[in-house]
């Protein structure tokens, strides 16, 4: 995404009508066609970004469902601008086992706005 390529993200998504994307750049979106279009739109905003580094906060998995909560750290370059800017987002991704493997069925991300809270 940070390099302008939406394909890897879209490949991870469930293609069902109940897939949800809630990102910091727009309202929540439901349904594969709409979510894939939004992922394409967001990816088109970036060029030459760095792959994110993940600080995992929590993870849980069952036989057919799992989630990961993490802080994603990256440096991005918006299309048409010079220089990189840091981007830190708090992300919760829910995965479910589907007939063709594990797919992201919910991704919620927002900008990190406060100081980190120590675990405990």
| Residue range 23-37: mean pLDDT, rounded | 94
For 97, the domain range is 7-111
| Residue range 27-54: mean pLDDT, rounded | 90
Position 117 in a domain: no
Give the domain CATH number at 89.
3.10.450.50
Which pLDDT band holds residue 85 (cuts at 50, 70, 90)? confident
Position 27 in a domain: yes
Task: Name the region of 63 (left: φ>0; alpha: ψ -120 to 50; beta: rest).
Answer: alpha
What is the distance in angstroms between the CA of the first residue and the CA of the last residue of the chain? 33
pTM of the model: 0.86
Task: Name the region of 48 (left: φ>0; alpha: ψ -120 to 50; beta: rest).
Answer: left
54: Cβ contacts below 8 Å, ≥ 6 apart = 70, 71, 72, 73
Position 33 in a domain: yes
Tell me: pLDDT of 13 over 60. Answer: yes
The total number of structural domains in the chain stands at 1
Position 96 in a domain: yes
> CA geometry: angle at 109 spanning 108 and 110, to 5°?
135
Position 26 in a domain: yes
What pLDDT shows up at residue 48? 79
Position 19 in a domain: yes
């Amino acid at each position: 995404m940070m390099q302008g390529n939406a394909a890897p993200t879209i490949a991870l998504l469930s293609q069902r009508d109940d897939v949800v994307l809630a990102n910091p750049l727009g309202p929540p979106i439901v349904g594969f066609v709409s979510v894939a279009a939004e992922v394409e739109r967001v990816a088109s905003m970036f060029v030459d970004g760095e792959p994110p580094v993940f600080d995992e906060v929590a993870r849980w998995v069952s036989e057919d469902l799992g989630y990961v909560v993490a802080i994603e750290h990256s440096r991005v370059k918006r299309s048409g601008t010079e220089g990189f800017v840091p981007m830190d987002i708090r992300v919760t991704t829910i995965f479910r086992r589907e007939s063709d493997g594990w797919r992201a069925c919910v991704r919620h991300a927002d900008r990190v706005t406060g100081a980190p809270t120590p675990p405990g």
